[in-house]
Amino acid sequence: MNRHALAVLEFPRVLDLVAERCASGLGAQRVRAFTPHDDRAALEREHGRVVAVRALLDGDVGCPSETIPDLGKALDQLRVVGSVLTGQSLLGVATLLRSSRLTKAALADQRQPAVAIALLEDLRDRLVVAARDEERLTRALEPDGTLRDDASPLLRKLRRELRAGEGELVALLERTMQRLDSHHRVADMSVTMRNGRWVIPVRREARTVVGGLVHDASATGNTLFVEPPAAIEACNRLRELEAEEVAEVERLLAELTDAVRPLHAQLEAASDALVELDTLRARARFAIDLGCGSVTLDEPGTGFAIKNGRHPLLLAQGIDVVPFDLPMSPNERTLLVSGPNTGGKTVLLKCLGLFAALVQSGIPAPVADGSRLGVFDDIFADIGDEQSIEASLSTFSAHVKNLAEILDRATPRSLVLIDELGSGTDPVEGASLGGAILEELTRRGVLTVATTHLGALKDLAAETPGVVNASLQFDEEALSPTYHLIKGLPGRSYGIRIARRLKLSDAIIARAEERVPKAERDVNALLASLEERDRALAERERDVASSQESAAARAKRLAERERHVRDRERTVERQSRQEARRYLLDARADIERTIRSLKKTESDQLDEAARAARRSVEELADAHSKGLEALDAAERSTAPNERAMSGELAAGDTVDVLSLGGRPALVVEVRGDAALVAFDAVKLTVSLSDVRRSAAGATPETRVPVLGDVPEVHASDEIDVRGMRVDEIDDLVMQALDAAIRADLKSLRIIHGKGTGALRARVAEMLQKDTRVASFRLGAWNEGGAGVTVAEL
């Protein structure tokens, strides 16, 4: 691609915005090296992968972001047999293996979107998993890249001896200092190291007293750093241990290097895949942050369509950007944008060039979904003032040089952007030259977008097929740009109007207006009327949109009201269920109280008490039924009044079913042309034509099913559990007790047999714990004896 055009469009600055979102330096470096290309299949695949990573970022698991070490030189060195990597490089290899393993696991997570994972399958396959080598490196190396003491038994032994020897040597030197006379000592003196040897600082006159070797002196020469004779041998031994330690470290590093050397190709592939994933994540975050939509890639010559386009650098600065829409049909090859200065023409040109460069670099562009762009073979741009004193180029000369290159290299598959066409020289000659250039580019079929202030070029659209005028709207009242793009209308000049606003002499303004040719004034008047009509049409479109929004708001309110009614119905139903359950619990509590009172009643009064209990239950059931009827009436009262007036049926209405002889029923639900009705605890779906609203409006009688336990009329007064195991009789005995209690039996015979006595013991244990059993005993001789237990209830 044309590097000059990319520089003029500030493409490197946009790449910096993307690179800032990378998690690694390698990823940022790769993003900054992106250049546009025209391989359409590769571009579509790349944008698909960006969409996949964006789906991962929006998902529950997220997109993995692991550390990526820079191992370029280390991996190159790893190819050479016999080479030894440093501890830092081996630690980087361990980090790379860990990042590769975790990323591969994350990309295989079943919770990730399946479509996104499929698009990233090639990246996942390039990642390496070598858990054994990773663990070996991690176990041998410290976080700073040095070998751990336990990397080998010999290294542990050598370092232990080194530490012990250094401690003994320092203690020896400290004792030597303490034995010195005060006039031989140095203030604040302590054992130190010079040239790799442990020494003590002494005054110069103590040199002969201490003896030994002098390894250094202070800047004044008054202090000498001496290694006493007693410490020389110990220090020599330390040097030997250090040499052995270095040899062992070198051996271990070589061993670890040889262990990972067979993985060098896989490590390179994994590093490349991780960096590529980092760039994809950065591009996806760029798309999310700047609101980038999907762009369809077309062949050049098929036109393009930009929807909601915005300049990325302005968005990054937090500026309130006015988006633009720009469709171009296949037969429209040149767009000529005119209008006053500071209207945004140059920004528009750069936007179009940046969109093409970004998309053809695999980076989303800040446009809305549904946008279309061609895949160009090159981008040419002549934007800004490129005059050069060193090259002896004026502004006009620089423009002509760029235009000559464009005419020489542009093809029908190229994009050409020209700012201020025809400027920098005589307006007549500039317009003639600019018109000739645009005609040539249009004839070739080159997609061209140019801006100009020259009125003569605005007529080109009427003379040359394929040329279209456009302008950026200008508020003539406030004399400020609105940055709204209008296709089909050339821009007007506001120079005289701006001069009047800036208080230029009225006489000069009048003479200037007189000097404007009549044809030019007529064109400006026509453009003003067209702009006024365009504003009126835009206002009408906004009114229509507003009315549509109002209708949508009314529909939303009605839907909300309907939802509120349904919620109210559900609330009433829930309350009725809770009320019914409360009545049932009260009834059960009353029965329990009655049973307890029965236990205290004399035997001749039991029958009368049982009848009283039954009457109490019947009264509670009647009260329960009346409560439900009241709840039904409250539910019907929640129906909207307008429904009753309109005649439409809804849940809660009372109707007569004609096919059933006019039998009244309650509407449960309306389902299109049918209704679900209920009567006598039966639900039936009938056609709306088969029902009519009940004139009486009363709720039909429904049979309320009895919930819970009901008294059993016939209950056995004995149960036989012989032949069963101990763990099998609990449920049977409890069910028999419950049935006997509900049937008002006085006693229950449990036949368990004699056998080993295990069943008899379990029965006795259960009866002992049951509060409903007054007492129990073994059977008499004529009742089964020890094989039967009789429980008094």
- Partnered with residue 373 across adjacent β-strands are 297
Determine, yes or no, domain membership for 538.
Answer: no
- Angle in degrees, 0-180, between the axes of helices 25-32 and 264-290, rounded to the nearest 10: 70
C-beta separation of 327 from 309 below 8 A = no
Q: Which domain holds residue 201?
A: 161-237
Helix extents (H) in 150-263: 153-178, 207-210, 229-260
Instruction: Give the pLDDT confidence of 560-612 residue by residue, as tens digits.
Output: 877 777 777 777 777 776 776 676 667 666 766 766 666 665 555 555 665 66
Containing H/E element for 379?
A: strand 378-382
Contacts of 608 (CB under 8 A, 6+ apart): none
Do 333 and 475 belong together in one domain? yes
Determine, yes or no, domain membership for 249.
Answer: no
Q: What was the pLDDT predicted at 781?
A: 78
Determine, yes or no, domain membership for 540.
Answer: no
Domain end (from 710, 735, 759): 710
Q: To the nearest 10°, report the CA torsion of 465, 468, 469, 471.
A: 180
pTM of the prediction? 0.61
Distance CA 425, CA 404 (A): 16
Compute CA distances 476 → 326, 438, 473, 539, 563, whole Å.
23, 30, 9, 17, 50
SS3 call for 343: coil
How far is C-alpha 322 from the chain's CA centre?
27
Determine, yes or no, domain membership for 82.
Answer: yes
Q: What was the pLDDT predicted at 58?
A: 86
Do 503 and 369 belong together in one domain? yes
Do 755 and 784 belong together in one domain? yes
Q: What was the pLDDT predicted at 633?
A: 53
Determine, yes or no, domain membership for 12.
Answer: no
Backbone angles phi, psi at 486, to 5 degrees: -120, 115
The first and second tokens of residue 272, run together, are: 């490349």
Q: What was the pLDDT predicted at 386?
A: 57
The first and second tokens of residue 734, run together, are: 């409890």
Determine, yes or no, domain membership for 1.
Answer: no
Do 458 and 597 belong together in one domain? no
Determine, yes or no, domain membership for 50.
Answer: yes
Distance CA 161, CA 167 (A): 10
CATH at residue 97: 1.10.1420.10
Based on the number of CB atoms within 10 Å of its own CB, is 410 exposed (0-12), middle (13-18) or buried (19 or more)? buried
Distance CA 581, CA 206 (A): 105
CATH at residue 385: 3.40.50.300
Distance CA 679, CA 657 (A): 10
Q: 103: closest CA among 261, 269, 287?
A: 269
Do 405 and 431 belong together in one domain? yes
402 CB neighbour count, 10 Å cutoff:
19
The tally of CA atoms less than 13 A away on the side-chain side of residue 396 is 11
Domain end (from 470, 495, 516): 516
Q: What was the pLDDT predicted at 345?
A: 86
Q: What was the pLDDT predicted at 413?
A: 93
For 721-751, the DSSP string reads: -TT--GGGSHHHHHHHHHHHHHTT-SEEEEE
Q: What was the pLDDT predicted at 354?
A: 95
User: What's the structural domain count of the chain?
Assistant: 6
CATH at residue 773: 3.30.1370.110
CATH at residue 681: 2.30.30
Q: What was the pLDDT predicted at 70?
A: 92
Q: What was the pLDDT predicted at 620?
A: 61
Do 579 and 727 belong together in one domain? no
Based on the number of CB atoms within 10 Å of its own CB, is 249 exposed (0-12), middle (13-18) or buried (19 or more)? middle
Q: What was the pLDDT predicted at 611?
A: 62
Do 726 and 705 belong together in one domain? no
Do 393 and 313 belong together in one domain? yes
Q: What was the pLDDT predicted at 519?
A: 54
Distance CA 335, CA 449 (A): 5
Do 322 and 460 belong together in one domain? yes
Do 337 and 403 belong together in one domain? yes
The first and second tokens of residue 505, run together, are: 């002499």
Do 332 and 455 belong together in one domain? yes
Q: What was the pLDDT predicted at 643?
A: 40
Q: Which residues of 101-126 are buried (b: 16+ CB within 10 A; e: fewer)?
A: bbbbebbeeeebeeebbebbeebbeb
Contacts of 369 (CB under 8 A, 6+ apart): 293, 294, 307
In this prediction, the residues of the chain whose per-residue pLDDT falls under 50 are 387-392, 635-646, 698-713
Determine, yes or no, domain membership for 243.
Answer: no
Domain end (from 652, 687, 710): 710
Instruction: Give the pLDDT confidence of 422-432 residue by residue, as tens digits.
Output: 777 777 888 88
Do 361 and 453 belong together in one domain? yes
